[in-house]
């Protein structure tokens, strides 16, 4: 039966109305997955030999020491982005197929998601290296099984508590408190982590414990999903009572203030947009990758990191204008809506968040003021240049976004467009190339100044650029309306 489901999904993919875009997006996602696969495999090699040869300690012990942090991060990522694949299952509910089969198929699909198996590449590579370096094979296998199963338990925890926001806030608060107590050496959490996870190596039979937990949670989740596996219950779109909100001081800014007010309310109310906010927060920590590989310490990659650290919200939110308004965009186009003010409201909102990100990024000064100045210049470039080019790319975005959907993905098929890709040149490559060349030739001060000047020039020329952007939005207006009306 699982093979039949798989064949149906393949047929659905190739019979869709947007096969070319589907293939392009699949290829781009595959490239992204391959990138992270290489990072994890390389990270396993780097971690093992660095700990063994530079730190002169047991790699299994040191990695086990920090696995509790990895487990918590994995749980947070899965809560934010991974969702049960219920949409493809709904049509089968009226057929003569046992619900037991459908529920198990949904579970299997969650384990096939890259969110589930990517971290296993690190553990597999690390375990193989350990065996070839003289570690006991039985102990390593027990360690691998025990650790992997504990990480896979996060899939079930996510299923059980995904729609329970109060529980999620409670768990998140506990994680933050424990992290703070660990940081200030009040609770030796890392030592407990080392003892628990290293036990799987010393006593391989302990891997039976996570195996039992895995089976038990599968059964609990199965019973939970099976009980509410109906269109009018568990699979029904959640409805909430609407609340009237108004940020009064924004109203004095006219149409721009009204649009900002509406966007803030949208960000607060919907699960899809909350995912954007969480993603933007995580982008602040993207610069930490700089310390895992020497390549990220090159001038071009430092600027690349700075653009993402300070512009996470801008990239995630801005390129989906006007997709976030797709449900009422046709109605809006029949009204006397000032296009320029509509776009400027998005622009101001993005830049306010970018400014806040530039302030929060000061924590990177701990690793050197040169790094923070690079990130600060990237933030100025994001405000002056990238904010406008991101809105420009939104004119070619024909993706529908259902704000009431439980889907937790950043991108969908219709967000792919060749023109949007071409706009990546001034958005990403131009500041990276300029910074690298000027810094190499004249030093860090000149490199930072050159990128900041480009950002200031973009800010000063914003009115001219906005006229061009508005023109493109009007040219794409009817194709965008057609795409938003087409539910396929």
Question: CA-to-CA distance for 482 and 220, rounded, in angstroms?
Answer: 45
pLDDT (average), residues 457-470? 88
Query: 225: burial class by Cβ within 10 Å (0-12, 13-18, 19+)?
Result: buried
Give the pLDDT confidence score for residue 342 in this predicted structure.
82
Residue whose C-alpha is closest to residue 418's, from 21, 101, 129: 21
pLDDT tens column, 233-279: 555 545 554 455 556 666 667 777 777 887 788 887 776 777 778 77
Whether the CB-CB separation of 231 and 94 falls below 8 Å is answered with: no
Q: What is the pTM of this model?
A: 0.57
Highest mean pLDDT among 254-268, 280-294, 399-413, 453-467: 453-467
Residue 145 has pLDDT above 90, yes or no: yes
Question: Cβ neighbours of residue 270 under 8 Å, at least 6 residues apart?
Answer: 403, 404
Kindly tell me the number of DSSP H helices and DSSP E strands found in the chain: 22, 0
pLDDT (average), residues 158-178? 80
Residue 88 has pLDDT above 70, yes or no: no
φ/ψ of residue 328, rounded to 5: -125, 15
Q: Which helix (H) or strand (E) holds 388?
A: helix 387-394
**Confidence class for position 393, pLDDT limits 50, 70, 90:** confident
Q: Which residue has the tokens 């809105």?
A: 391
Cα-Cα-Cα-Cα dihedral of 402, 404, 407, 412, to 10°? 10
Whether the CB-CB separation of 402 and 323 falls below 8 Å is answered with: no
Tokens for 282? 């995580």
Q: Which residue has the tokens 């070319």?
A: 20
Average pLDDT, the chain: 79
Question: Cβ neighbours of residue 258 under 8 Å, at least 6 residues apart?
Answer: 250, 251, 345
pLDDT tens column, 326-341: 777 777 777 777 778 8
Tokens for 269? 């109310």
């Amino acid at each position: 039966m699982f093979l039949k489901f798989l064949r149906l999904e393949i047929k659905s993919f190739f019979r869709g109305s947007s096969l070319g875009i589907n293939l392009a997006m699949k290829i781009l996602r595959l490239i992204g997955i391959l990138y992270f696969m290489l990072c994890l495999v390389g990270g396993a090699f780097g971690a093992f030999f660095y700990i063994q040869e530079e730190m002169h300690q047991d790699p299994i012990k040191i990695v086990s020491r920090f696995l509790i942090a990895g487990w918590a991060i994995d749980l947070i990522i899965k809560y934010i982005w991974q969702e049960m694949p219920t949409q493809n299952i709904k049509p089968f509910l009226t057929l003569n197929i046992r619900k037991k089969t459908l529920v198990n198929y949904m579970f299997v699909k969650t384990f096939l998601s890259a969110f589930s198996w990517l971290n296993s590449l690190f553990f597999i590579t690390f375990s193989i290296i350990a065996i070839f370096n003289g570690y006991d094979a039985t102990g390593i296998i027990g360690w691998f099984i025990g650790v992997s199963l504990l990480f896979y338990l996060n899939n079930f925890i996510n299923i059980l508590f995904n729609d329970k926001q109060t529980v999620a806030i409670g768990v998140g608060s506990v994680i933050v408190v424990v992290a703070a107590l660990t940081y200030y050496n009040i609770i030796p959490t890392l030592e407990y982590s080392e003892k628990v996870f290293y036990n799987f190596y010393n006593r391989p039979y302990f891997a039976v414990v996570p195996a039992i937990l895995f089976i038990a949670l599968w059964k609990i989740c199965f019973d939970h999903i099976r009980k509410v596996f109906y269109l009018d219950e568990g699979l029904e779109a959640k409805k909430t009572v609407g609340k009237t909100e108004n940020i009064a001081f924004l109203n004095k800014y006219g149409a721009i203030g009204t649009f900002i007010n509406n966007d803030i309310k949208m960000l607060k109310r919907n699960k899809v947009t909350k995912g954007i906010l969480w993603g933007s927060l995580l982008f602040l920590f993207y610069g930490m990758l700089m310390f895992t590989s020497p390549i990220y310490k090159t001038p071009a990659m430092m600027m690349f990191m700075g653009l993402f650290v300070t512009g996470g919200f801008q990239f995630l939110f801005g390129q989906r204008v006007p997709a976030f308004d797709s449900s009422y965009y046709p109605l809006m186009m029949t009204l006397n809506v000032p296009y320029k003010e509509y776009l400027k409201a998005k622009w101001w909102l993005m830049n306010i968040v970018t400014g806040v990100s530039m302030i929060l990024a000061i924590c990177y000064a701990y690793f050197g003021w040169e790094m923070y100045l690079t990130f600060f210049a990237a933030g100025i470039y994001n405000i002056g240049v990238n904010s406008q080019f991101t809105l420009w790319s939104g004119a070619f975005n024909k993706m529908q976004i259902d704000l009431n959907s439980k889907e937790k993905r950043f991108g969908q098929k219709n967000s792919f467009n060749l023109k949007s890709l071409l706009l990546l040149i001034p958005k990403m490559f131009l500041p990276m190339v300029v910074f690298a060349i000027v810094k190499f030739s004249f030093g860090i001060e000149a490199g930072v100044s050159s990128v900041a000047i480009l950002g200031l020039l973009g800010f000063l020329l914003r009115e001219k650029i906005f006229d061009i952007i508005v023109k493109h939005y009007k040219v794409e207006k009817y194709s965008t309306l057609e795409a938003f009306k087409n539910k396929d």
